[in-house]
Each structure stands twice: as C-alpha cells, then as structure tokens.
Structure 1
Amino acid sequence: MNDYRANRVAGHSYFFTVRLSERGSTLLTDHIAAFGEAIRQARGRKPFHVDAWVALPDHAHAIWTLPPGDDDCAARWRAVKIAFSKSLSKSRATRGTEIIWEPHYQQHPVGDDYVRLVDYIHHNPLRHGLCGRPQEWQWSSVHRFIAAGMLAG
C-alpha cells in the first residue's frame, strides 16, 4: 500500500467531483492552463492545499485540505468556476451567458479512505479509457507523487 499520508497537511480534507454541464465536452483539458490558473486564484483568496487531482475532458476530481477550522468548500469552488468561465468567455469571445459547469458538485469528507481516494483519482483516466497507465495522463498529480517517491514510475 502507498503511504500518501506523508503528503497530508493540517486541516480537514475533502474529496470532490466537479463536472461540466455538457457531458463529452473537452473544455477542461482544452483549457487546462485556465483551469489551473482559476485554482491558483481561488487559493490566493481562500487558501487550501491540493493533495491530489486529475482533470479529465469534462470533469475533475480532487482532494483538498482546508486550513484548520475552515470548511468553506463552496466559496472556493465558486471562485474556481467563475474564474475559469470568465477566462473561457474572453478566449472564446462569448457573452458569458453559456453555462459551463453543472451547478452542484460532489463532496465528502476524507477520513480513513484517503489512500483509496488518491488511487481513485490517479486511476480515473484509465477507467475512462483515456490512457493505459496513470503516468501517461498528463493532467494529474500522479507525476508529483512519482517525483516525491510515493509511487513507482
């Protein structure tokens, strides 16, 4: 079993799934830099640690750890979604009326299932037939885990 717990920080961790409104869309991977920048902006306003993540063409999974005493996941995801949507509106010359995200997201606290959820995140591209091995998918924290020696390359 992998020892991912060394990667954890103080605070409470949450597992998320966020989806685009159009299933089968490729907006997340087509605009991965904008998605990453949206997360960086949200972290600048309300800090959190990104423990693990994967971006697929039409949805993303992540484990975030929020500072002790802070459980405001909604404001953070709202900031990410707004920043990403604004970036797309600028780059695609739309009027901003297009609904890009599903209004809700899945969230649950992470407890003893931390290791299982990190593995789920890193193996998700395989389940969708997007690659043959986790390290072949470029939009994932699996590469950070390999570099840190927590996974074999």
Structure 2
Amino acid sequence: MSEYRRIYQRGGSYFFTLVTHQRKPLFSDANHVDILRRAMRQVMSTRPFTIHAIVVLPDHLHCIMQLPDGDADYSSRWREIKKAVSRQIAPLSNERNERMVWQRRFWEHAIRDENDWQRHADYIHYNPVKHGLVTRPALWPWTSFHKAVERGIYDPEWGLQEPPAISHMDCE
C-alpha cells in the first residue's frame, strides 16, 4: 500500500491530473467533454470551487482548482464529478460496481506561491502541444487558454515553443 499523503489546505489552490481508465481517449468525443463540463457545473453549484486553468485532452485532464475559504475537501468534489461523468458515459458497471471511465485515483499538487501557480498554468495550457495534438495552444478547443488570452494573461501566439520553466515538468 502506498504511503502517499494528500495535502489539504483550507481555501487552497491545487493542480490536478485525472486520467481515464487505461488511458482510453474518451474525451476525443465533444459530447463527452460537454458531459464533463455539466458535471463540473453541477458539483460546483452545491460544493463551490473555482477553476483557474484547465485543459481536457483525449485521455486526461489537468486543472488548477481553488477551494473556498475554510474548505479543504477537494476529494469529494472529484468523486462527485467522476461519478456524474461515469454514469453518463458508461451506463453499465462491472462486478465491483465500477464504471470503467476513470483511473481510481487522481494526482494533486498544492500550489505554493505565484511562481508555482504560473508554472502549472503554463503546463496546463501547453499540454496539447506537448502531446502533439496541435502546434500551438490557441488551436486546442478544450482549454481555458482562450479566456486567459481575453484577460491579457497570454499573447495569442504564446506556446509556439515550450516555455523553459516547464520543460522539466511531467505531471502525467
């Protein structure tokens, strides 16, 4: 059994990676991405959180989520999101009552400071290029990069080359 311990900070910001079961490219289907969006909004309506950056790739997603002050429970939020998506994408369960949509766990990293936040946001937005899906982040449809450009955080041509600050990062 793993000795991995999660960090829970009330009101904290976290970087997450969630992966589909056996890396199936479930989110190549735009309808599945819409199911994910609806599930996130549904959970957000009862258990508030803010997504500051996100990218949905065919077999995984990355995001930066911030929890409300006084709340550190990101695990139940992801459990509810994953359940809602799974019910719609895979209506049948296996003998353990699991729907084979997601890997059982997810990876989290507590954001430490502004520099850490920016590196992880860059990692998120550059990820479709890293995986060879597009030649620049602006060409990927399922990303918060477009909103970040509108807010002046990124230039539309950002990401033509891998930013040096993320070249060593591997959050897959």
Coarse TM-score class (shorter-chain normalised): 0.7 to 0.9
Please provide the CA RMSD for this pair. Answer: 1.4
Q: Which residue of 83, 93, 98 maps to 1:96?
A: 93
Q: Could you tell me which runs of 5 or more consecutive residues in structure 2 were left unpaired when the two chains were aligned.
A: 1-9, 157-172
Larger relative contact order, structure 1 or 2 (CA cutoff 8 Å, min sep 6): 1
SS of corresponding position for 2:66: strand
- TM-score normalised by length of structure 2: 0.77
Q: Could you tell me which runs of 5 or more consecutive residues in structure 1 were left unpaired when the two chains were aligned.
A: 1-9
Q: Please tell me the residue identity of whatever aligns with 1:151.
A: Y
SS of corresponding position for 2:21: coil
2:7 alignment partner in structure 1:
none
1:150 alignment partner in structure 2:
153
Give the conservation status (yes or no) of the 8 Å contact 1:48–1:66.
yes
Report deviation, 1:44.
1.0
SS of corresponding position for 1:33: helix
SS of corresponding position for 2:28: helix
**Equivalences, count:** 139
Report deviation, 1:84.
0.4
Report deviation, 1:61.
0.2
Identity %: 40
Q: Distance in 1 between matches of 2:11 and 2:149?
A: 24
> Deviation string for 1:6-38 (max 9, x for gaps)?
xxxx93101000000122x22123111001111
1:26 alignment partner in structure 2:
25
Regions of 4+ moved over 3 Å: none
2:71 alignment partner in structure 1:
70
Q: Please tell me the residue identity of whatever aligns with 2:19.
A: R
Q: Distance in 2 between matches of 1:128 and 1:152?
A: 21
SS of corresponding position for 1:22: helix
Larger radius of gyration: 2
Within 5 A, what are the aligned runs for 1:3-42?
Answer: 11-23=11-23, 25-30=24-29, 31-42=32-43
